[in-house]
């Protein structure tokens, strides 16, 4: 009988209460009416239980989990500077999202120097997938140096990741798992993900194919940097995407051959389970100026757009290569510290 199942734990006392009200009533119309009312409330809450719980707490339904492609594309274009190839990120998610029965989980590998917006792009993605954004219970961010620091604990970590992915995908198929700094992860730890991202319809009754796995790393940065310096020297602009098109190819080749890359030794690569490699390019002065302006506007409104201040912050940031100083070597990463420092000094 349904009433005695898990949800019956709540319903049974209610049911008994209604019975009690009916039988203990001295057949007075008021208590009969109240019993009838309780009975109706009880059946309504039973039928609409799922909707009710989704109203009060986050659940896997559309009101909490829904991808806003237009919003995501626009936010990326407006907030992440200097990344002409970033449209591939929104395309990939859109394709996967629209496909009700994807053949496998989406696996994205984002590569590039520090401070170029990889983490930022992922946070923006969370904001456009989940109503609660990065605080959603379906969004999981793991950082190698925080969560998996000791290579001797490889087996423990592997068991944990396996359990977490299994447990969370069984709660919501449309879960997102982000692994940051994978180049600092114990090698082969990522192998534990292979069954989840492979072409299986389900594993022990759980379908993993709607989930999204995102890897972030600096691996490939030197290659990206070298190629960008060449392009810049020969007068090419990054907005000319025909020059950029070869990047993902270069990048996937590089990742296969880079011995220090956690991905290289991983079964994910050997079985071609990574759906896309997305390069993040080093930032030029104008991009960094954009980041500084955004920061001032959001956090130091009294100094919004102060040119002198912006110049002084720029002077604090290292640019490479030494002679030409094309690219900020930490991207937009250290602008908050540097701005505060300059403000304190003045």
Q: How far is the CB of 332 from ligand NAG (least distance, A)?
A: 22
Q: How far is the CB of 187 from ligand NAG (least distance, A)?
A: 12
Question: How many Cβ atoms are within 10 Å of 80's Cβ, its own excluded?
Answer: 21
Q: How far is the CB of 143 from ligand NAG (least distance, A)?
A: 11
Considering only residues 326-345, where is the footprint of ligand NAG by CB under 6 A? none
Helix (H) or strand (E) holding 320: strand 319-320
In terms of CB distance, is 15 or 164 closer to ligand NAG?
164
Residue 125 and residue 88 in contact, taking contact as beta carbons nearer than 8 Å? no
C-alpha 125/C-alpha 250 separation (Å) is 25
Exposed/middle/buried for residue 7 (C-beta within 10 Å: 0-12, 13-18, 19+): middle
3-class secondary structure, 105: coil
Number of residues located near ligand NAG, criterion CB under 6 A: 11
Q: How far is the CB of 78 from ligand NAG (least distance, A)?
A: 10
Residue 330 and residue 317 in contact, taking contact as beta carbons nearer than 8 Å? yes
97: contact with ligand NAG by CB under 6 A: no
Which range touches ligand NAG (CB under 6 A), out of 66-74, 102-110, 150-158, 179-187? 66-74
Question: How many Cβ atoms are within 10 Å of 24's Cβ, its own excluded?
Answer: 9
Q: How far is the CB of 154 from ligand NAG (least distance, A)?
A: 18
In terms of CB distance, is 115 or 220 closer to ligand NAG?
220
In terms of CB distance, is 83 or 90 closer to ligand NAG?
90
Considering only residues 167-196, where is the footprint of ligand NAG by CB under 6 A? 167-168, 171
Q: What is the CA radius of gyration of the chain?
A: 26
Q: How far is the CB of 311 from ligand NAG (least distance, A)?
A: 33
Q: How far is the CB of 136 from ligand NAG (least distance, A)?
A: 11
- The count of residues in the chain is 346
Place of tokens 């907030």: 79
Considering only residues 259-288, where is the footprint of ligand NAG by CB under 6 A? 259
In terms of CB distance, is 259 or 322 closer to ligand NAG?
259
In terms of CB distance, is 123 or 140 closer to ligand NAG?
140
C-alpha 308/C-alpha 75 separation (Å) is 28
Helix (H) or strand (E) holding 315: helix 307-316
Select the residue interacting with ligand NAG from 39, 164, 321, 343 (CB under 6 A): 164
Select the residue interacting with ligand NAG from 5, 43, 70, 241 (CB under 6 A): 70
Helices (H) and strands (E) in the chain, counts: 16, 8
Q: How far is the CB of 63 from ligand NAG (least distance, A)?
A: 11
**Alpha-carbon separation of residue 141 from 146, 169, 181 (angstroms):** 11, 14, 11
In terms of CB distance, is 70 or 299 closer to ligand NAG?
70
In terms of CB distance, is 161 or 335 closer to ligand NAG?
161
C-alpha 123/C-alpha 143 separation (Å) is 14
The 121-160 site mask, x for binding ligand NAG (CB under 6 A), equals -------------------x--------------------
Select the residue interacting with ligand NAG from 13, 61, 71, 305 (CB under 6 A): 71
Q: How far is the CB of 140 from ligand NAG (least distance, A)?
A: 4
Q: Which of 244, 229, 339, 255 is nearest to 291 (CA)?
A: 339
**What residues contact 111, with CB distance under 8 A and at least 6 apart?**
118, 217, 218, 219, 220, 221, 224, 251, 255, 277, 278, 279, 280
The binding site for ligand NAG (CB under 6 A) comprises: 68, 70-71, 74, 140, 163-164, 167-168, 171, 259
């Amino acid at each position: 009988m349904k009433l005695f199942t898990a949800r019956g734990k709540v319903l049974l006392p209610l049911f008994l209460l209604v019975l009690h009200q009916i039988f203990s009533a001295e057949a007075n119309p008021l208590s009969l009416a109240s019993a009838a009312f309780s009975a109706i409330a009880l059946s309504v809450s039973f039928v609409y239980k799922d909707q009710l719980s989704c109203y009060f707490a986050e659940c896997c339904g559309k009101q909490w989990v829904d991808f806003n492609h237009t919003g995501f594309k626009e936010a990326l274009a407006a907030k992440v500077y200097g990344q002409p190839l970033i449209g591939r990120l929104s395309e990939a998610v859109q394709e996967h999202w629209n496909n009700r029965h994807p053949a496998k989980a989406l696996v994205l590998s984002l590569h590039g120097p520090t401070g170029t917006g990889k983490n930022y792009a992922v946070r923006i993605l969370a904001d456009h997938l989940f109503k609660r954004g990065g605080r959603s219970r379906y969004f999981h961010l793991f950082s190698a140096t925080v969560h998996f620091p000791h290579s001797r604990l490889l087996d423990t970590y592997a068991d944990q990741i396996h359990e977490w992915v299994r447990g969370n995908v069984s709660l919501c198929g449309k879960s997102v798992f982000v692994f940051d700094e994978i180049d600092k992860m114990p090698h082969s730890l990522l192998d534990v993900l292979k069954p989840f991202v492979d072409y299986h319809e389900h594993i022990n009754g759980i379908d993993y194919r709607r989930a999204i796995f995102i890897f972030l790393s600096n691996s490939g940065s030197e290659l990206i940097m070298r190629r960008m310096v060449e392009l810049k020297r020969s007068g090419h602009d990054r907005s000319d995407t025909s020059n950029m098109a070869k990047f993902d190819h270069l990048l996937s080749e590089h990742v296969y051959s880079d011995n220090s890359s956690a991905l290289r030794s991983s079964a994910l690569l050997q079985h071609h389970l990574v759906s896309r490699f997305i390069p993040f390019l080093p930032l030029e002065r104008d991009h960094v100026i954009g980041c500084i302006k955004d920061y001032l506007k959001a956090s130091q409104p009294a100094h919004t757009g102060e040119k002198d201040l912006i110049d002084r912050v720029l002077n604090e940031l290292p640019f490479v290569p030494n002679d030409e100083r094309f690219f900020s070597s930490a991207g937009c990463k250290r602008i908050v510290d540097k701005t505060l420092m300059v403000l304190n000094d003045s």
